[in-house]
Structure 1
Amino acid sequence: MATRQSVDDLMQKCEDVIRSAQEQYLEASHQEHYNDDQYTTALQSLEEAFNDLAVMANSANSQQREQLHRMRLQLQQAQNNMILLRH
């Protein structure tokens, strides 16, 4: 079973990844092709966090799984926004 601390740590990591991705999204929407490497790295970080959540969900209790699912939806939304941005 996943410990509360491990879930909290992962949630914090995901929030940081989302915040970073949002910053890259805003920069890309203003500067177009200037920071493609950082933009791609942010997308990769979102994907890694998404995968980490899926792994953690396997050992989580029902309450933790719900919390992880909500975070997974946020990650997907950030990822979708970045993919759909025409930069």
Structure 2
Amino acid sequence: MATRQSIGMCIQQCENALSYAQDQYQDGSRQEHYGDETYVQSQATLQEAMNDLEKLLSSSNDQQREQLYRMRMQLQQMQYNMVRLDH
């Protein structure tokens, strides 16, 4: 079973990845093709957070799973937005 601490650390990692991605998304929408390297890095950070979240899902209880699912939806939405941006 996943511990409260491991879930908390994962959620924090996801929130950090989302924040970084949102910053890069905003910069990317203003600057178009400048800063491609950091844009791609933020996408990789999102994917890494998603992978870590997926690992915890299998060992979480119902309440934790619900929290992780909500975070996963946010990560997926950000990934989708970043792919769709004409960058």
Q: Do the two structures share a fold, i.e. TM-score over 0.5? A: yes
Runs of 4+ in 1 over 3 A off after TM superposition: none
AA aligned to 2:39 is Y
What is aligned with 2:73?
73
Q: Percent identity among equivalent residues?
A: 53
What is aligned with 1:43?
43
AA aligned to 2:8 is D
Normalized against structure 1, the TM-score is what? Answer: 0.98
AA aligned to 1:13 is Q
AA aligned to 2:57 is A
Name the CA distance, whole Å, in 2 between partners of 1:62 and 1:75: 20
Q: How many residues align?
A: 87
Normalized against structure 2, the TM-score is what? Answer: 0.98
Name the CA distance, whole Å, in 1 between partners of 2:19 and 2:12: 11
What is aligned with 1:56?
56
Name the CA distance, whole Å, in 2 between partners of 1:26 and 1:7: 28
Q: How far off its partner does 1:32 sit?
A: 0.8
- 5+ residue gaps, structure 1, are none
State the SS of the aligned residue for 1:34. coil
Q: How far off its partner does 1:52 sit?
A: 0.7
What is aligned with 1:6?
6
State the SS of the aligned residue for 2:43. helix
What is aligned with 1:26?
26
